[in-house]
Each structure stands twice: as structure tokens, then as C-alpha cells.
């Protein structure tokens, strides 16, 4: 809540609420006498210069009464909200203190009460407490309480389950201190937020009660009561209902907008804005002739986001049929965005530019729209990290596979389904016909990833882009998926771009390795040279820092000091220079990716 | 807007084919105990509601009969009324006879008119339900396409203008209570332009203004939820994969995204329907609509306790039934059935 | 210390099934297993976060500390690094500052980080803060649950080196849990393998890795990706 976003809605909400508060404080002081002055000569008048909103049955000025009524309306709403909030927070906190049985009872009651509309609870209470402000306030308080109770419960439960609370308990921090230091501060903000919204709600509900004649009774008056009086005369003089109605509407809108803005501010604070100066993207060099045999040919691929954030910088990559190329890098190196850019899936507001982007011998940017869709839809297969998220939870597995055939190949539903079952069998899913009729959640993690791969095999894939496809899986399952990917590549002659942070997996699966650092390719080498023939100091450090089954346990592991520059602050020169032992003055200039040995290229001035 | 109306046209046909299978799944759930648990919860809640409505009469400070008839009423009349209501019997036997009466459809008689409460409810409930259901249908039909359209237009923060307009407009629409909409609509369209009748129930035309008043806020609220849910789904990998497969936009949005947003949308829709039934009290009051709401307000102000008690009980029961139905519907629609544990 | 016949049940599901495991003084016991093997539940039971049957003997329960996978969720976002580290210290206020500095130095972090908030640190730094905080109560047993899984490889090495140096310098006993057999092999003196809630194999690291007795251990070893295998 430190800095509210300056949107028109935010400003309007803040202003309206401020206005309401000022009115509540100053209103009765200024117009109090005017609002009570009875004038038998001016009974039940409509709009006039003296009485802009008319007069009531005792000749009192309605505008003055509206301005005065703000205090009572707001005060009653505040009392009701406080009653509700206090009761609700206590009810919500009880389950974490009570024994299990009692806790379940309280939780059950709260859950049941939340379902009941507030107005119903308020009417119930009003019947018992009798007509009048007291009954209405108690009723609205009762209506506000369940919402608070539920919110407190959920919040407390989520914070109590947080790792840092577990740690505090293990450190021997007292229950009281855990509550005051860890739990309360972390749930206070959403509760306060809810308070703003509840206050607005209570104000409207009280107005509603008074409007029905169930709330504030004469001679007291709030906005709802004034509307009640005005409504009776609405056919004759509609203006008399206008004042109280507008006041209620403005108060409601004010609190609601303010609540929205506060909620937004609270949720945005967690993500700091990455601002940095824009930097010129290096000019694309000579492109040369396109490689007719390559499945994928990318030249000078750059992905930029507003604010000078450039996660991928002038990347070039060629993949031949049947080849498995590993793209390795740490988080933030731009490897996943490279995959998205090739698949045409970079999210807005990212912008992709490339000197060349050819898939299966055609530049995807020059193809007509329909042809491009077909080409990408059938020749490109993608596999993502989390197979649960990659399958639509609402649809059956078979249907999701069959879709590709019905949409792009014009197959009938039955044919498409039969092919889907066949493809599932091909990736060795047992009982494929049964599995095809199941939803994704009924499959195991490994099976889901197989299903995603099978989906890619529905068409005639020429390129498989696998983005961390085994990271979420267990090692034994990972091994099966890697084997499957290799088989699929061998069989279909498709090329595979395999993206991973795990250099060991890359080393095991791929033919060729491309190492990315801070958005650029720093080295490209045959897999055989990865273990001991890498030339770039970053690649070498990466290999050395990875413990494997042969690592000498008596020696410390290598580690790289410092951290990778973020996509907004990549230097013009070698991005790794800051962390590099070999760095020299020359590294201030960007080293080009140049041939080092056969099939091996490196971007380093110091590589020997 | 033209674009936003498309989903409603595509909706029913997509839903129709699924009904048979959905029924099969629903029956499957019986075994899993889901329906049973929901039914048990419903019965318990209903029991609590019965006790609460019974207690209402007894929690009224002093003597409800005296309070109702006023201090001037003769003592004999009060005594006779008390005896007729059974108020002098032990509390437990009163509760038992209350519950058994309710189940036989006997809600007592009005203090004022002497009418059986059952007849009041029977004649007025359909008017209230009709209004609330129609308003819900209108809200869903407008809100879901609107929310999806807004989500698609503002995905990943594009079209900031649309986003600001959408959130501010829905925010304001939610903030204005239904009785103000009623008053505004009456003033403009009934008193000013004379397009619609200002009050009463007479033919289809008389439904327009009450339904509009009831539907505006829920529409804004559902549209908001629907937008947030759609945005969340659009960020999921399965959407990325569907886009990688180059599915046509209509297929992507209606077949892939829409079903996944329905769970949350329907949950909120169900809660809103429950709230709408209560909210109709105010709208009925403005339009002098011959529903339960108008009657319950009169009975509370006139201290006609048996009527208030009966109507509030019916309102509560409707809320419970609506919640049960929404839960069951979600259990059928949501294949992962995250709800099953709760 | 020794864990004897420890069992954890969640309703009808047995997450940890009759596990007996000895952790010799000053030794690092590595615990490997796949998701659902019960290794993390065992850790939570030994730390007293989950009710269990069986016994944990030879260690004061209040002197068992645990470090979690994601340091961002295990540090209170509203407390500075210094306040987090100081929280568990049972020291007079005046001595705390010095102790926080000593602990940060012990995990090779600059003392100046004490004033920062967790979100301002890198993943590796946060994990070291979490370790420093656990060390503050001079634990008899430190449980490390997948502490390098969320870290980049280039940072992981430093945390693993820290774990080993802590054992050498202060003789810390540790239960080191990971799904990554290579990592476990590198830091541990003894390796234990869990599968479906049961302990299937346990022995000195070189023996388990070099000559596994159990089929499951063998399949796990087979599955470890190796750089130059293709």
C-alpha cells in the first residue's frame, strides 16, 4: 500500500472516500441546523432555487438532510463492520486453537453461514432485535462476520503451513511469538483490505435496510431512510429521491474502487519493476545462403521486451534432420524464450526479430497465414516441463490428440480418434484405448508426458522442441522419456531441440550442445567434447561444478562467483567477464562466435 | 460487443452432446460418496435452519404475541393466541411440533390476516423465483462472453485501455446496489419515458425493469471472475501447446479454455443466485412485485411473526437447495473434482 | 542418534513405513528416493512437524533443525536477514549482533547482508541464510531437505561445499535429503535409499554406489544421467 497506482479509478475511489469522511465529520456541524429547521410554508416541495432537492413533509431542506445524514450512515456502517470483523476474526482464528472436533464444528458453521446472503441474516436479526438502527447494525454485523471468519481461516491456514512458520517452530520460537511475528503481520494486510470492502458493503446493506423501513427510524435519518421517504413521492417529484440515491451510489462506488485499488497495489508489490536503459541490438551480419537441408535455421534471433529487457540476443542455430541438439543454460539465460520464439509463442509484449527463421525449408514469416498454421501445426511438436499443465484438465486425452488430425488434416472424428489410440500405443502407453478415454489427472506423470509426445506424433513432426521435458519427473521416469525421445527422433527422422538446465541430461541425450549465457550462445560443441574438451570458461565451470558419479569427493566442487546478469543489464562486451578468471581488458568487446575446431564454435577471446 | 456474443451461440450446442456422459459420471460419483456427503451436509444445514427459524420466535425479547398485538390488546386475546400457538408448552415439544408441522406444510397462520402462511408462500414464491432465475440466466448469458472477450483482449497486459475501462465499469456496476438500479430505471423508463410499467406484475413487459435491476451487479461480478479465470487459463501450458498446434481461435477459446473457467464461474454464479433471491426483496419492494420479498418486509414492520418466520425459512431453504445443486453440477462438470475433498 | 521403527500414516496411507536409520555423530547421512518415497515426510517427522509412531533416540528434539528446498518460502518475507537469523538465538540482546555476524561469516556471506530482505538476495545466498539461521541454535542434527534442488548448478557447488566444510569444521551431524544421487554421493558418508515409504538399502556411500544390493537402488543408479555416456 506504499504507493497506489495512479489510475483514474484509484484517484476517483480515494477522492470519493475522502469526501465521505470529510462529510461525516463536517456535515452535521455546517448543515445540522438547516436540516432540522421545520418550515410549514414549504411542505413537500420539488426542486427550487432555495431547496435544490426539494423539501420533506415538514418543509425541511432535503439537500441539507442528505449532507447531514452521511455521518449516521457512515458511523452505523463502521460499527456494523467492526462488530462483524471482530466476531469474524475470532470465529476464524478459533479452529487453530480449539481441539480438532470443536474446530471442525466451527469451520462447518462458518462454511454454512458464508453461503447465506447477508440480507437474509440481517432480516433474521432484525426480527429478533426489533425494528431500528440497533437491529439493523447487529444484523449487518452478523452478515459481515462469516466472510471475515472464512478469510481469516484460509489465511491463517496458509500462513501456518508456510515453511517459515515450520522453521520458527523448530527454532523453538514460542507459539505467541509465532502468532504475533509471523502469522498476524502476514495476514493483516488482506484482512485490512477486506475491511475496506466490507465497510462499503455494510453501508449499502444498511441503506437497503433503512430503505425497506427496517433500519433507522424517525426522527433519526440516514441515507436509506431519506430514500424511503423520497421513494414514496417518486411519481410526483422524482428529484427528492435523487439526493439520497446519489449519495448511496457514490459511497458504494468510492469504497469499492478504493478496495480494488488497494488489492491491486498489494498484489503488485511483490513483483518489482525491472527498469533499465534500452540498448541497441547488434546489427544482423551477413546471412549467407539458406541451408536447404536444415530442418531449422535461425539467424540473429532477438527477443525484446519493453524497458530494454532483451532475454535473447542475436542467437543463431541450425539443426539437421535426425539431429538432437541440446540447448543448455541456467535460469534466465533465455533458452526457453528461444524455444517460444521458434514456435511463434512469445507472449505479448515480447517482440521477436530475426535475420532468418526457416522451418522445413520455408521462412515461416513469409508463408501465407493458413499455410503457416498448417506447417507449424503438423511439423512442429512441442513438449513442456509440466505434463499436467500441458494437457487440458477438462478434456479427455484421446480427444486432445485427435484434434490435430481433425483440424489440420481434415480427418473424421472416428479416424482421428483411432490414430490417437495408435499414437498412444506407439509411445508405449499400456491399454491405449482405455487411456484415450480418460482425463489427464487419471494418468501418471510419466504417462502424461508420453501422451504429450504422442500428440506431437499425430502429424508428421519435422522438429520436436522439448523444453525441460523431464525436469518435473523422477529420474527413473526421466530415463524412459529420454529413451522415447531418442527413439522417436531415430524413427521419424525429425530433429529435436532439447532444452534443459541439466547439463548431465543434455550430455546423455544430445548429439550437439549449444550453451547459452545471458541471452547469447557462448559455445557450440559436439557432445563428445563436453566433458573435457569445452573451450569457453563458462562451459568448463558448468561442467566442473556438476557432481556426477565419478566426482572426487575429497576435492571441493567448482562454483562460479557472482551471478548471471539479468536480461535488462547485459553488458555490451562479454557477459561472463565479471565472473571469469581469464577475463582481460579485451573482454569489454563482444567476442564473436567463431570456429574453434571441427563442429565446435566458441565466443571467447581467451579460448585457446 | 458483436464478437462477445458469439460464445453464447456456440455454448448450447457444445453442451448438448456432453449431457449423456455427464449423467454417467454423476452416477459414478454416487459410489465415490461425493453425492452422499453433499446430501448429508444439506440435511444437517436444513436441520440447523429449522432450529434457527424456530428459535427466532423465542429470541424475540418479551412476548411475541404481546409485541405483535400491541399493549392495548385485551389480555384474553393474548392468552388465547398464545395457547393457539402452543407457546405455553415445554420448549422441546414446541420444537418437535414445529418441525413436524413444517414437514406437513403447515407454517402457521398470519397474526394479521389469518391466512395460512403456506398459502401466502405458495402464491408468492413462483413470482420471486421466476424473477431471480431469469435474472441469473440473463447475467450468465451476458457475463461469460463479456468476461472471456475482455480476457482475450487484455491478455498479458495488452490493450491497457480496455482493461482500465472494463475494471472501472464493472467495479462501479458492482458497487451500486440493486435497489438504486430499480429506482433509477423506474424514474427514467417508467415515469420519464413511460416505456415500461412502474410497478406490479402484468405481462412480459413488467419483467424487464425488475430483471435488469437484479442482473446488472451479478453480470459485472461474473464477468470479472470470468475474465480473471480466462486469463489464468490462457497462461497455462496446455494453451501454449494448443497454440503450438495452431488450433483455430474459436476452438482454442471455446473448447479448451471455456470448460476450465466454468468451475469458478458457476461457483460464483451459484452464490450470486442465492444472494439474488435475497436481493430481490428490495427490488420487489420498489416494483411492488407480488413476491415473497414484499410480503416479508410488510410482516417484519407489522410484527406479523409467523409470516416472517415462514418466509425466512423458505428463503434459507432455497439458498441451501441452490448451493446443493451448484455443488452437484460442479461435481459433474469438473473432471478433476477438486471439490471432492471439501 | 538413531531413528527407530518410525512410521507415519495419513489416514489409510502409510507415508513412512517402519524406518530404522542411524545417523552417527558428525556424519552426513544421505537419503535418496523419488517423489512419493516418503523421504521428506521422514524429515518432517524427525523434526517434529508431523506426528509419528516409533522413536527418535539420542537427540534432544529441540536441537533438530531443518532447511527447506525453497529458501524464499522458508524465510519470512517481512523480516530482514539479520532478524531471521537472530530469531532463534537464545542470547541476551547485546550478544545477538555479534552472533548473527559470526553465523553469516560461517556460511561465507558478507555481514552487510543482515540489513537486507530475502527478496533482495540470490537463491544461493538465501539458502545460506537459511543454513545460518538453523546453525544459530547449535543443532545436534541438521536436516537438509532438497536444499539445492531449486538452485542453478553454478551456485549449487558452493552450497554443497559449505555443507561439507560445516561437517569438517564444527562436526555437524546431518541428514541430507535429495532426489539427485550424484549430489547425495558427493556430500554423504552413508547413503540410505527409500522407496514407497520403506528403507530399501543403507550403507557406506562407496558401497551403495559401487555395489548396490537392492534392485531398486540399482535402477536408480542406472537412471542417473552421465555426461559422456552416449
Quick check: A204 and A164 in contact, CB under 8 A? no
HEC assignment per residue over chain B: CCHHHHHHHHHHHHHHCHHHHHHHHHHHHHHHCHHHHHHHHHHHHHHHHHHHHHHHHHHCCCCHHHHHHCCCCCHHHHHHHHHHHCCCCCHHHHHHHHHHHHHCCCCCECCCCCCEHHHHHHHHHHHHHHHHHHHHHHHHHHHHHHHHHHHHHCHHHCCHHHHHHHHHHHHHHHHCCHHHHHHHHHHHHHHHCCCCCCCCCCCCHHHHHHHHHHHHHHHHHHHHHHHHHHHHHHCCHHHHHHHHCCCCHHHHHHHHHHHHHHHHHHHHHHHHHHHHHHHHHHHHHHHCCCCHHHHHHHHHHCCCHHHHHHHHHHHHHHHHHHHHHHHHHHHHHCCCCHHHHC
Indicate the residue of C34, C74, C220 with minimum beta-carbon distance to A167.
C74
With respect to residue B234, please indicate whether it lies within any of the assigned structural domains.
Answer: yes
| Residue B230, in any domain of the structure | yes
Grid coordinates belonging to A273: 519493476
Within a domain: C80: yes
Count of structural domains within chain C? 1
C184 is a domain residue: yes
Residue A4 pLDDT exceeds 70: no
**Interface mutation target, options B245, B266, B286, B308, chain A, most CBs of A under 10 Å:** B245
- For residue B88, the model assigns a pLDDT of 77
Assess contact for C131 and C68: CB atoms under 8 A: no
Task: Assess whether pLDDT exceeds 90 at residue B117.
Answer: no
Helix C153-170 with C123-135: angle, nearest 10 deg: 20
**Among the ranges A428-442, B100-114, B284-298, which has the highest mean pLDDT value?**
A428-442
Q: How far apart are CA C26 and CA B236, in angstroms?
A: 46
Position B13 in a domain? no
Does residue B134 sit within a domain?
Answer: yes
Sign of CA dihedral A380, A384, A388, A394: negative
Please report which confidence band the pLDDT of residue A191 belongs to, taking 50, 70 and 90 as the band edges.
confident
pLDDT band with cut points at 50, 70 and 90 for residue A40: confident
Alpha-carbon gap, residue A395 to A400, rounded angstroms: 7
pLDDT of residue B25: 54
Q: Measured between alpha carbons, how far is A325 from A164 in angstroms, rounded to an integer?
A: 41
DSSP annotation of C28: E
Q: Per the structure, how many domains does chain B have?
A: 1
**Subunits in contact with chain B (3 or more CB pairs closer than 8 Å):** A
- Is B touching A (3+ C-beta pairs, cut-off 8 A)? yes
Q: Domain for residue C229, yes or no?
A: no
**Whether the predicted pLDDT of B84 surpasses 70:** yes
With beta carbons less than 8 A apart as the criterion, state whether C42 and C31 touch. Answer: yes
Contacts with C, A 506-535, CB within 8 Å: 507-510, 527-528, 530-531
Inter-helix orientation angle B34-59/B18-32, to 10°:
80
Of the listed ranges A43-57, A546-560, B174-188, B220-234, the one predicted with least confidence: A43-57
Pairing of strands C190-195, C28-32: parallel
| pLDDT greater than 80 at residue A184 | no
pLDDT confidence of residue A286: 55
Residue A537 in this model has a pLDDT that exceeds 80: yes
Q: How confident is the model over A50-85, as pLDDT tens digits? A: 777 788 777 788 888 888 888 889 999 999 999 999
Place of cell 456474443: B5
Which residues in B lie closer than 8 A to residue A241 (C-beta atoms)?
183, 187
Cβ pair C68, C143 in contact under 8 A: no
Please determine, for residue B337, whether its predicted confidence score (pLDDT) is greater than 60: no
Candidates A124, A250, A344, partner chain B, best to mutate (most B CBs within 10 A): A124
pLDDT of residue A330: 87
What distance in Å separates the CA atoms of residue C179 and residue A64, rounded to the nearest whole number?
Answer: 73
Q: How confident is the model at residue B24 (pLDDT cuts 50, 70, 90)?
A: low
C13 domain-assigned: no
Of A117, A211, A249, the CB nearest to B278: A117
Position B19 confidence tier, pLDDT thresholds 50, 70, 90: very low
pLDDT digits (tens, 9 = 90+) for A257-296: 888 788 777 665 544 333 333 333 333 445 677 777 889 9
What is the model's pTM? 0.77
Residue B258 is assigned to a structural domain of this protein: yes
Q: Which residue has the higher pLDDT, B326 or A315?
A: A315
**Would you say A436 and A454 are in contact if contact means Cβ atoms under 8 Å apart?**
no
3-class DSSP state of A358: strand
Residue A172 with chain C: CB contacts under 8 Å:
62, 88, 90, 137
For residue B56, what are the domain limits? 21-340
Number of residues written out for chain B: 342
Looking at residue B336, its pLDDT comes to 57
Contact A549 C226 (CB under 8 A): yes
Task: Return the pLDDT at B11.
Answer: 34
pLDDT at residue B308 greater than cutoff 80: yes
Percent of the residues in chain A that have a pLDDT greater than 90, as a whole number? 22
By CB atoms closer than 10 A (0-12, 13-18, 19+), residue B72 is exposed
Q: Closest chain B residue to A378 measured between Cα atoms?
A: B245
Give per-residue pLDDT as tens, B245-276: 888 888 888 888 888 888 778 777 777 887 78
Interface check for A554 against chain C (CB to CB < 8 A): the answer is no
Residue A113 has pLDDT above 70, yes or no: yes
What's residue A516's pLDDT? 95
pLDDT digits (tens, 9 = 90+) for C117-166: 888 888 888 899 999 999 888 889 999 999 988 888 888 888 899 899 88
- Closest Cα partner for C133 from C150, C158, C114, C148? C114
Q: How far is A362 from chain C (nearest CA, A)?
A: 32
pLDDT at A277: 32
Q: What is the pLDDT of residue A266?
A: 67
Asked, for residue C123, whether it belongs to a domain, the answer is yes
pLDDT of residue B330 exceeding 70, the answer is: yes
- The residue-averaged pLDDT of B25-47 equals 70
For B168, which residue in chain A has the nearest alpha carbon?
A9
Looking at per-residue pLDDT, the higher value among C98 and C230 belongs to C98
- Domain, as residue range, for C103: 27-49+60-191
| Mean per-residue pLDDT, B93-111 | 85
The CATH number given to whatever domain includes residue B73 is: 1.10.3720.10
pLDDT at B177 over 50: yes
CB pair distance less than 8 Å for A391 and B238: yes
- pLDDT value, residue B340: 43
**CATH number of the domain to which C124 belongs:** 3.40.50.300
Please judge whether A9 and B271 are an interchain contact, meaning their C-beta atoms are less than 8 angstroms apart: no
pLDDT at A126: 78
Provide the pLDDT for residue B28.
Answer: 52
For B287, nearest residue in chain A (alpha carbons): A231
C 67-106 near A (Cβ less than 8 A): 68, 70, 73-79, 87-88, 90
Q: Residue B88: what are its φ and ψ, rounded to 5°? A: -95, -5
**Across the interface, which of A185, A186, A542 has its CB nearest the CB of C154?**
A542
Mean residue pLDDT across chain B: 79
Question: Inter-chain contact B312–A124, Cβ cutoff 8 Å?
Answer: yes
Amino acid at each position: 500500500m506504499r504507493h497506489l497506482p495512479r489510475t483514474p479509478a484509484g484517484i476517483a475511489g480515494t477522492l470519493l472516500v475522502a469526501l465521505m469522511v470529510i462529510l461525516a465529520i463536517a456535515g452535521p456541524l455546517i448543515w445540522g441546523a438547516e436540516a432540522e429547521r421545520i418550515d410549514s410554508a414549504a411542505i413537500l416541495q420539488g426542486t427550487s432555487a432555495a431547496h435544490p432537492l426539494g423539501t420533506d413533509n415538514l418543509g425541511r431542506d432535503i439537500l441539507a438532510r442528505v449532507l447531514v445524514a452521511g455521518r449516521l450512515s457512515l458511523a452505523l456502517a463502521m460499527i456494523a463492520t467492526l462488530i462483524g470483523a471482530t466476531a469474524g476474526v475470532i470465529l476464524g482464528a478459533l479452529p487453530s486453537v480449539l481441539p480438532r472436533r470443536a474446530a471442525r464444528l466451527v469451520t462447518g458453521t462458518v462454511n454454512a453461514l458464508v453461503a447465506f446472503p447477508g440480507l437474509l441474516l440481517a432480516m433474521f436479526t432484525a426480527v429478533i432485535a426489533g425494528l431500528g438502527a440497533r437491529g439493523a447494525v447487529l444484523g449487518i454485523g452478523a452478515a459481515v462476520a462469516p466472510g471475515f471468519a472464512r478469510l481469516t481461516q484460509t489465511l491463517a491456514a496458509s500462513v501456518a503451513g508456510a515453511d517459515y512458520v515450520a522453521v520458527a517452530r523448530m527454532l523453538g520460537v514460542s507459539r505467541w511469538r509465532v502468532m504475533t511475528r509471523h502469522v498476524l503481520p502476514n495476514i493483516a494486510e488482506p484482512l485490512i483490505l477486506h475491511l475496506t470492502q466490507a465497510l462499503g458493503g455494510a453501508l449499502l446493506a444498511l441503506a437497503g435496510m433503512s430503505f425497506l423501513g427496517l433500519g433507522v427510524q424517525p426522527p433519526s435519518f440516514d441515507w436509506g431512510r431519506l430514500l424511503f421517504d423520497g421513494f414514496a413521492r417518486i411519481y410526483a417529484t422524482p428529484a427528492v429521491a435523487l439526493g439520497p440515491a446519489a449519495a448511496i451510489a457514490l459511497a458504494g462506488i468510492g469504497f469499492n474502487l478504493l478496495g480494488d485499488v488497494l488489492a491491486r497495489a498489494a498484489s503488485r508489490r511483490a513483483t518489482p519493476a525491472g527498469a533499465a536503459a534500452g540498448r541497441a541490438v547488434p546489427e544482423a551480419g551477413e546471412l549467407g545462403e539458406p541451408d536447404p537441408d536444415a530442418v531449422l535455421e535461425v539467424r540473429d534471433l532477438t527477443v525484446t521486451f519493453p524497458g530494454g529487457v532483451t532475454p535473447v540476443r542475436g542467437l543463431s542455430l541450425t539443426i539437421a534432420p535426425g539431429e538432437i541438439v541440446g540447448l543448455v543454460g541456467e535460469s534466465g539465460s533465455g533458452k526457453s524464450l528461444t524455444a517460444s520464439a521458434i514456435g511463434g509463442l512469445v507472449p505479448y509484449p515480447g517482440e521477436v526479430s530475426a535475420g532468418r527463421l526457416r522451418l522445413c525449408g520455408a521462412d515461416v514469416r513469409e508463408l501465407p497465414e493458413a499455410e503457416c498454421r498448417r506447417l507449424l501445426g503438423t511439423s512442429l511438436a512441442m513438449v513442456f516441463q509440466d505434463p499436467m499443465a500441458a494437457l487440458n484438465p477438462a478434456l479427455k486425452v484421446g480427444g486432445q490428440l485427435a484434434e490435430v488430425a481433425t483440424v489440420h488434416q481434415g480427418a473424421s472424428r472416428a479416424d482421428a480418434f483411432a490414430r490417437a489410440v495408435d499414437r498412444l500405443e506407439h509411445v508405449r502407453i499400456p491399454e491405449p484405448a482405455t487411456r484415450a478415454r480418460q482425463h489427464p489427472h487419471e494418468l501418471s506423470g510419466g504417462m502424461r508426458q508420453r501422451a504429450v509426445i504422442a500428440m506431437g506424433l499425430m502429424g508428421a513432426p519435422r522438429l520436436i522442441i522439448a523444453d525441460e521435458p523431464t525436469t518435473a519427473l523422477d529420474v527413473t521416469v526421466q530415463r524412459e522419456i529420454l529413451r522415447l525421445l531418442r527413439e522417436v527422433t531415430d524413427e521419424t527422422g525429425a530433429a529435436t531441440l532439447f532444452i534443459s538446465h541439466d547439463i548431465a541430461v543434455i550430455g546423455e541425450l544430445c548429439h550437439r550442445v549449444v550453451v547459452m549465457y545471458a541471452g547469447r550462445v557462448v559455445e557450440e560443441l559436439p557432445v563428445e567434447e563436453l566433458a573435457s574438451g569445452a573451450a569457453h570458461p563458462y562451459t568448463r565451470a558448468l561442467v566442473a561444478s556438476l557432481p556426477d558419479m565419478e566426482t572426487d569427493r575429497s576435492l571441493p566442487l567448482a562454483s562460479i562467483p557472482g551471478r548471471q546478469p539479468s536480461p535488462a543489464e547485459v553488458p555490451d562486451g562479454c557477459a561472463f567477464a565479471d565472473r571469469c578468471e581469464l577475463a582481460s581488458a579485451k573482454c569489454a568487446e563482444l567476442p564473436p562466435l567463431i570456429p574453434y575446431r571441427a563442429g565446435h564454435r566458441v565466443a571467447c577471446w581467451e579460448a585457446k | 460487443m458483436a464478437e462477445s456474443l458469439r460464445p453464447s451461440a456456440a455454448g448450447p450446442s457444445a453442451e448438448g452432446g456432453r449431457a449423456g456422459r455427464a449423467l454417467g459420471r454423476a452416477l459414478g460419483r454416487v459410489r465415490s460418496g461425493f453425492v452422499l456427503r453433499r446430501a448429508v451436509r444439506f440435511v444437517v444445514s436444513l436441520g440447523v435452519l429449522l432450529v434457527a427459524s424456530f428459535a427466532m420466535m423465542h429470541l424475540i425479547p418479551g412476548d411475541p404475541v404481546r409485541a405483535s398485538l400491541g399493549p392495548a390488546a385485551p389480555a384474553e386475546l393474548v392468552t388465547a393466541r398464545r395457547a393457539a400457538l402452543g407457546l405455553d408448552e415445554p420448549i422441546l415439544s414446541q420444537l418437535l411440533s414445529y418441525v413436524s408441522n413444517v414437514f406437513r406444510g403447515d407454517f402457521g397462520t398470519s397474526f394479521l390476516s389469518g391466512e395460512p402462511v403456506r398459502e401466502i408462500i405458495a402464491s408468492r414464491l413462483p413470482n420471486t423465483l421466476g424473477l431471480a432465475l431469469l435474472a441469473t440466466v440473463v447475467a450468465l448469458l451476458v457475463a461469460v462472453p463479456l468476461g472471456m472477450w475482455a480476457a482475450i483482449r487484455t491478455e498479458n497486459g495488452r490493450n491497457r485501455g480496455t482493461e482500465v475501462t472494463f475494471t472501472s465499469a464493472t467495479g462501479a456496476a458492482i458497487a451500486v446496489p440493486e435497489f438504486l438500479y430499480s429506482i433509477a430505471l423506474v424514474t427514467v423508463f417508467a415515469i420519464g419515458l413511460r416505456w415500461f410499467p412502474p410497478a406490479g406484475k402484468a405481462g412480459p413487459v413488467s419483467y424487464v425493469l425488475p430483471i435488469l435491476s437484479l442482473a446488472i451487479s451479478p453480470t459485472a461480478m461474473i464477468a470479472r471472475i470470468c475474465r480473471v479465470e480466462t486469463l489464468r487459463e490462457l497462461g497455462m501450458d496446455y494453451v501454449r501447446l494448443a497454440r503450438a498446434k495452431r488450433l483455430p481461435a474459436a476452438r482454442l477459446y471455446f473448447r479448451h479454455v471455456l470448460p476450465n473457467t466454468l468451475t469458478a464461474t458457476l461457483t460464483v454464479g451459484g452464490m450470486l443466485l442465492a444472494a439474488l433471491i435475497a436481493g430481490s426483496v428490495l427490488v420487489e419492494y420498489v416494483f411492488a412485485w407480488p413476491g415473497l420479498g414484499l410480503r416479508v418486509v410488510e410482516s417484519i414492520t407489522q410484527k406479523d411473526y409467523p409470516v416472517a418466520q415462514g418466509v425466512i425459512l423458505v428463503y434459507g431453504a432455497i439458498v441451501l437447495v441452490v448451493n446443493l445443486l451448484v455443488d452437484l453440477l460442479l461435481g459433474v462438470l469438473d473432471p478433476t473434482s477438486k471439490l471432492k475433498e471439501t | 542418534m538413531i531413528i527407530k521403527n518410525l512410521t507415519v500414516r495419513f489416514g489409510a496411507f502409510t507415508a513412512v513405513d517402519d524406518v530404522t536409520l542411524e545417523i552417527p555423530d558428525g556424519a552426513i547421512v544421505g537419503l535418496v528416493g523419488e517423489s512419493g518415497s516418503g523421504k521428506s515426510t521422514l524429515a518432517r517427522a524427525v523434526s517434529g512437524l508431523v506426528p509419528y509412531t516409533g522413536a527418535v533416540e539420542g537427540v534432544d528434539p529441540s536441537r533438530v533443525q531443518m532447511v527447506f528446498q525453497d529458501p524464499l518460502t522458508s524465510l519470512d518475507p517481512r523480516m530482514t536477514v539479520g532478524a531471521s537469523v537472530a530469531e532463534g538465538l537464545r542470547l541476551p540482546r547485546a550478544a545477538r549482533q555479534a552472533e548473527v555476524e559470526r553465523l553469516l561469516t560461517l556460511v561465507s556471506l558478507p555481514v552487510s547482508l543482515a540489513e537486507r530482505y530475502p527478496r533482495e538476495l540470490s537463491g544461493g545466498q538465501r539458502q545460506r541464510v537459511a543454513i545460518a539461521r538453523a546453525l544459530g541454535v547449535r543443532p545436534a542434527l541438521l536436516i537438509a531437505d532438497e536444499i539445492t534442488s531449486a538452485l542453478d548448478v553454478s551456485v549449487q557447488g558452493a552450497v554443497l561445499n559449505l555443507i561439507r566444510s560445516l561437517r569438517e569444521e564444527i562436526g555437524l551431524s546431518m541428514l541430507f535429503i535429495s532426489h539427485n544421487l550424484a549430489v547425495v554421493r558427493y556430500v554423504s558418508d552413508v547413503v540410505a535409499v527409500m522407496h514407497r515409504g520403506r528403507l530399501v538399502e543403507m550403507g557406506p556411500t562407496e558401497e551403495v554406489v559401487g555395489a548396490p544390493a537392492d534392485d531398486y537402488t540399482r535402477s536408480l543408479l542406472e537412471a542417473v544421467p552421465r555426461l559422456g555416456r552416449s
